[in-house]
Amino acid sequence: MTDWLNDKDLVELLRSDYAENFADQAADRIEKLSQDYAEACDEAAVCYIKQCKAESKLDKALAALDEAIYMLNPDEEDMAKKAGVYRIVTTYKELKGET
């Protein structure tokens, strides 16, 4: 019943088929992981670009607020009213991290 185990050619053929199948599976897995890694890098790059654009837009908005505050020249009375100018100044400070 175990005569086939004594057939060295058959055993070697089975071993080589198993090794070849294993190597093919490993190569496929490595290729898939490489593709996943490349996609993740692409997504990270897109996120970085979007973040840079958002920061640029925020910088422009802060510059506009800064200029508006300078032109409005709020005094203590304006700040005490907690109205339009007050909201502009407090929002500006919050965005700049000066709260």
Higher pLDDT, 89 or 34: 34
Cα–Cα dist 31/50, whole Å: 29
Give percent of the chain above pLDDT 70: 89
Whole-model pTM above 0.75? Answer: no
pLDDT digits (tens, 9 = 90+) for 73-85: 888 887 787 777 8
* pLDDT tens profile 17-51: 777 888 888 899 999 999 999 999 999 999 999 99
Distance of CA 87 to the CA centre of its chain: 33
